[in-house]
Amino acid sequence: MERERAYEEKKLHGTNCCCWDYRSPYWWGDTGWATALLQTIAITVIPGIIGGLLGLLFGLGLVLTVPDDIFPHRGWFSFDKTVSFFRSLPFIILLAVIAPVTQLIVGTQIGMVAAMVPLSVAVFPFYARQVQVKGLTRKGRSSPVPGSD
């Protein structure tokens, strides 16, 4: 607060109050550039990591439970349909649908931390499909659907 007052006084007296000064209130605070930059990095990296881990788990589930594989299971169909459903769902609809879950997990539906939940859920099916395709390609299959090689 005192720093902002000092900058206001400099403005009134005509001295240079450059927005490129790192001590400037333009950089820090709720509306500062540095704060916005750090929040942008956090909201990109953290959901990417969480979505990547969820995608890795779902992708491994897709690879391992496919019929005629290590753990053939009927659950493959539900894994596959879940990934396909979330991949085709537009983000704004996902944001509205998952809002109550975000409220339960984070305690709010608004803000940077609350936005990380739908971003993580939106990212995981893409990672899962990449893990599935890469895993089945390494096993000698060209398609994730058994029998369509």
With respect to residue 89, please indicate whether it lies within any of the assigned structural domains.
yes
Q: Please tell me whether residues 18 and 85 are part of one structural domain.
A: no
64 or 136, higher pLDDT: 64
Report the sign of the C-alpha dihedral through residues 19, 21, 24, 27, in that order: positive
Total count of domains within the chain: 2
Structure tokens at 60: 């491994």
- Rounded CA gap, 148 and 132, in Å? 15
Q: Please tell me whether residues 66 and 103 are part of one structural domain.
A: yes
Q: Please tell me whether residues 64 and 43 are part of one structural domain.
A: yes
Q: What is the pLDDT of residues 44-88, one digit of tens each?
A: 999 999 999 999 988 888 887 777 767 776 666 677 788 888 888
Structure tokens at 14: 């005509």
92 or 19, higher pLDDT: 92
Q: Is 43 exposed, middle or buried (0-12, 13-18, 19+ CB in 10 A)?
A: middle
What's the average model confidence in pLDDT over 98-126?
92
With respect to residue 118, please indicate whether it lies within any of the assigned structural domains.
yes
Q: If you average pLDDT over every residue of the chain, what do you get?
A: 78
With respect to residue 124, please indicate whether it lies within any of the assigned structural domains.
yes
CA angle, 88 then 40 then 25, to 5°: 150
With respect to residue 147, please indicate whether it lies within any of the assigned structural domains.
no
With respect to residue 143, please indicate whether it lies within any of the assigned structural domains.
no
pTM over 0.75: no
Q: Which domain holds residue 17?
A: 1-31
13 or 41, higher pLDDT: 41
Calculated CA dihedral for residues 17, 21, 24, 26, nearest 10 degrees: 90
Q: Please tell me whether residues 62 and 78 are part of one structural domain.
A: yes
Residue 149 has pLDDT above 50, yes or no: no
Q: Please tell me whether residues 50 and 118 are part of one structural domain.
A: yes
Q: Give percent of the chain above pLDDT 70.
A: 65
